[in-house]
Structure 1
Amino acid sequence: MYKVISISILFLFFSWKSKKNENLLIKQTTEVIQNSKNFKFVIAESGLNYRSEPKGKILGKFEWREKVEYLYETGITQKIIDNYTEIEGTWVAVKNKKDTVFVFDYYLSDDEPSFSKTKLYYAEPYFNEIRKPSNERDIRQAFVNVSESFYMPENFLEKKDLRKDTIYFNKEQRKEFFKRMKYSITDSIFIYDFKSGIIKKHLVDKTPIIACISIYAKTDEENKTQDYDEWSYQIGFNLGKMTSAGFAMIANENPFVENGLQQIIFEEMDSASIEINIENSLVPEGWKNNTVPAYTFSYENTAFFVKKSKDSYGWNNLLVKNVNTKESFDVNIYLGEGSSLAPIKIKGEKGAHDNYFQYQGTQYIGKLFKNKPPVVFGFTYKSFGCPSIRFIDKQELPILILCDNRH
């Protein structure tokens, strides 16, 4: 009996010592990481719940983009369903003021979110032309493509419809679409028409929802002898014969400022103007004796300067400055595969935009959103990927346009 008691005491001693060492190891590891100040950013758009322990009681919520101090990994993994998709992550400890709390690490990132949560789309206008040389009529309805936001479940489109170019959602499909997109029947599609500056409104509950085949879909077009793949369809709102083209948002109230945008039209600078802007530290000294023409455009306290050759649409040396602080502003001109400079418009010259109107590749500036700073966009074309618009305020994140640029 004494042997059994002795063995039990010995077992408890080593268990206690093992647990103590484990706790010490966690504490030491935590202290090392704390001292190194390992920070993460919350990327969950609705915020990230923090708990008393892994999978435990919710104590509060970290906001989107909030910076949190990472302490240690618990080793406890979990699979959850988020936005109708299964995801897997690990529970980790982070600091909340003086307390240690636990969060699901799938929603943490080393990098701070660089784009706004705003869901902005394009409204494509009605299109009708005769194809040559076949004389076949090509008609496309006006369309707001929201595929980038819609998590379509497998077999959502009925197999009997998969040879159609356009599928109109039935009652059940509309119901599921509204549920997944979190739309209310009182929401509307608000469209800022670039050409007129007028805001167009369509009630979502009264607007047909369609799946229309992408131009990149691979199938036997002529004989329709095989089905389309359901992922080759673009999902969105059919606006009929609406000729407006511009930005679109789905919301309960109009987010746009009517007639808030204006096209950027540059004017040529003479030598006296260049001298004045050099003196004001807005353009460099080297612009004085340069034989290449220089151009400028002003909006409120923001001035644009650019060099451009008169015999082409090419340009370079774009400078954007706050005329009061002399601070530079980056319009994010990225040139890579599928990206190129869009032609600029110069006052008094016939240019690329005089014969047609196009929303991508036309420079605009002004108040697009209510209660937000002015925006600027349109300096580059993008064949791959989607363009973005920037606020003339570094505190506001740029908005990536959800253009469904599939290839």
Structure 2
Amino acid sequence: MKFYLQLVLLLSSTLFVFSCKKRATESKIELTELSKDSVIKKKETSKHFEYKYVIAPSGLNYRDFPNGNILGKFSWREKVEYLFDTEQTQKIIDNYEEVKGTWVAVKHEKDTVFIFSHYVSNSEPSFSNIKLYYADAYSKLKLKPSNKLDIRQAFVNVSESFNMPENFIHEKDLLKDTIHFNKKQRIEFLKRMNYSEKDTIFIYNIASGLVKKHLVKKTPLIACISLYSQIEEEYKEENYNQWDYQIGFNLGKSNHDGFAIIGKENPFIEKGLKPLVFKEMSLEMINNNIKNKLISKSWINDTVYKKYTSKYENIRSFVKMKNGYNNWSDLIFKNFDTKDSYHIYQSEGESSSKAPLEIKEEKPQYNESHQYIGRLFKNKPPVTFGFIWESFGCPQIHFLDKDELPILILCDNRH
């Protein structure tokens, strides 16, 4: 009798559990089917509209439902109409880091679609998604206070883009000034950077205007200590930390000094840049440019500053200057035909200062030019750069076109 009661209780509990599981499954399906309708009805009662900007460099998939089927892709910088937040959170791995967001509804033509909130912003991206690095030439210098000779190979530093995992550099290597990576480390680096051994390092040499090429598969990948980590090297008692190292490509004893891009096709135009040289404006020139609506009438009445101008194709640049090459203000770039103005970053601060300008028929303060103008990239508008020196930041390259964002050079300017 006891055994019979136990059997009945066991069968009853099993049926109860099975019934609960079935109801839970059905309930989950009902919630899934109803949630989209309910959130859309919620939106129909709202009169508030906002816009978001896509900040994912490669674009952003939109779906028929939160984490549902992919219907298409919004492009980088695209402006989308925000409808509502589903409040359904999710964690994903992006560039080997965990990020958290919610699924939000946006409008696409006449439909409601869903995107992941981590990849949109209330404001438009401020800088271009072009990954531009510096290529530093081969050099020798003496370290202080040790006075040891430090030889630096030509180097393309890509640390700003490399999401370095923990213990990427082996502990036994943390006393070395330069580390040559093994095959396993190289494979991991290329995977995280989305590079291939078939890619090429293209280097635009600013002085010559020529483009040099290095095949990735033939270029060593190294880590070298930042100069700022070496200053007290003579008194150092502990190993370096892996974050003290700069990661990049070793170009050997070459004189490549300029901009670098890594990819499959050469993006640069050889000899497309030229030094930006200003000349002083006569009274007649000032009046003509006021008449052509390129500068304001206030320029004719300003007796404190001298006025200078330069031209490139249909672009005119103007600047005021007094008491020295780097004491300038009111820098203006304008299209002569359309009268469009182009904003050029020129703010001074604790870590930035104005670079001296080059004036025609005056002896330059330095042997090399600082400002350049011209065509640097294929199928892109002209650029200009070199107006601000940065101590704790990276310089910008400005396109002379209202539709193109400035490029922030990935310079790894650590201190």
Instruction: Compute the TM-score of the two structures, normalised by the length of structure 2.
Output: 0.86
Structure 1 residues 71 and 394: alpha-carbon distance in aligned structure 2, compared to 1, 3 A threshold: same
Structure 1 residues 63 and 135: alpha-carbon distance in aligned structure 2, compared to 1, 3 A threshold: closer
**Cα distance between partner residues in 2 of 1:106 and 1:242:** 42
Deviation at 1:185, TM superposition (A): 1.6
What's the counterpart of residue 6 of structure 1? none
Match of 1:209 among 197, 217, 221: 221
What's the counterpart of residue 378 of structure 1? 386
What's the counterpart of residue 52 of structure 1? 64
What's the counterpart of residue 319 of structure 1? 332
**Cα distance between partner residues in 1 of 2:364 and 2:294:** 27
What fraction of aligned residue pairs are identical, expressed as a percent? 58
What's the counterpart of residue 245 of structure 2? 233
Structure 1 residues 106 and 292: alpha-carbon distance in aligned structure 2, compared to 1, 3 A threshold: closer
Deviation at 1:239, TM superposition (A): 1.1
**Cα distance between partner residues in 1 of 2:238 and 2:231:** 7
**Cα distance between partner residues in 1 of 2:232 and 2:148:** 18
**What is the total number of aligned residue pairs between the two structures?**
385
Residue 333 of structure 1 pairs with residue 321 of structure 2: no
Residue segments in structure 2 that go unaligned for 5+ positions in a row: 1-26
Residue segments in structure 1 that go unaligned for 5+ positions in a row: 1-14
**Cα distance between partner residues in 2 of 1:102 and 1:284:** 48
Point out the more displaced range, 46-55 or 376-385. 46-55
- Name the SS for the 2:124 alignment partner: coil
Residue 278 of structure 1 pairs with residue 290 of structure 2: yes
**Cα distance between partner residues in 1 of 2:327 and 2:398:** 22
**Cα distance between partner residues in 1 of 2:228 and 2:200:** 30
Deviation at 1:292, TM superposition (A): 2.9
Amino acid aligned to 1:195:
A
- Name the SS for the 2:189 alignment partner: helix
Point out the more displaced range, 50-59 or 299-308. 50-59
What's the counterpart of residue 146 of structure 1? 158
Deviation at 1:324, TM superposition (A): 2.0
| Kept in 2: contact 1:261–1:365 (CA 8 A) | yes
**Cα distance between partner residues in 2 of 1:344 and 1:162:** 43
Structure 1 residues 58 and 187: alpha-carbon distance in aligned structure 2, compared to 1, 3 A threshold: same
Deviation at 1:52, TM superposition (A): 2.3
Deviation at 1:28, TM superposition (A): 5.3
Deviation at 1:89, TM superposition (A): 1.1
**Cα distance between partner residues in 2 of 1:63 and 1:91:** 18
**Cα distance between partner residues in 1 of 2:285 and 2:356:** 23
Structure 1 residues 78 and 130: alpha-carbon distance in aligned structure 2, compared to 1, 3 A threshold: closer
What's the counterpart of residue 3 of structure 1? none
What's the counterpart of residue 193 of structure 1? 205
**Cα distance between partner residues in 2 of 1:95 and 1:284:** 43
Deviation at 1:393, TM superposition (A): 0.9
Structure 1 residues 123 and 110: alpha-carbon distance in aligned structure 2, compared to 1, 3 A threshold: same
Point out the more displaced range, 279-288 or 75-84. 279-288
What's the counterpart of residue 114 of structure 2? 102
- Name the SS for the 1:222 alignment partner: helix
**Cα distance between partner residues in 2 of 1:25 and 1:242:** 64
| Kept in 1: contact 2:204–2:270 (CA 8 A) | yes
| Kept in 2: contact 1:141–1:240 (CA 8 A) | yes
Amino acid aligned to 1:300:
E
Q: Deviations over 1:83-124 (max 9, x none)?
A: 111111112222222222222211121111122111000111
| Kept in 1: contact 2:146–2:234 (CA 8 A) | no
**Cα distance between partner residues in 1 of 2:323 and 2:139:** 33
Deviation at 1:29, TM superposition (A): 3.4
Match of 1:115 among 124, 127, 142: 127
Match of 2:261 among 240, 245, 249: 249
Structure 1 residues 135 and 371: alpha-carbon distance in aligned structure 2, compared to 1, 3 A threshold: same
Residue 178 of structure 1 pairs with residue 190 of structure 2: yes
Amino acid aligned to 1:344:
L
Amino acid aligned to 1:260:
G
| Kept in 2: contact 1:219–1:227 (CA 8 A) | no
Structure 1 residues 131 and 30: alpha-carbon distance in aligned structure 2, compared to 1, 3 A threshold: closer
**Cα distance between partner residues in 2 of 1:133 and 1:110:** 49
Amino acid aligned to 2:71:
L
What's the counterpart of residue 17 of structure 2? none
Deviation at 1:220, TM superposition (A): 6.0
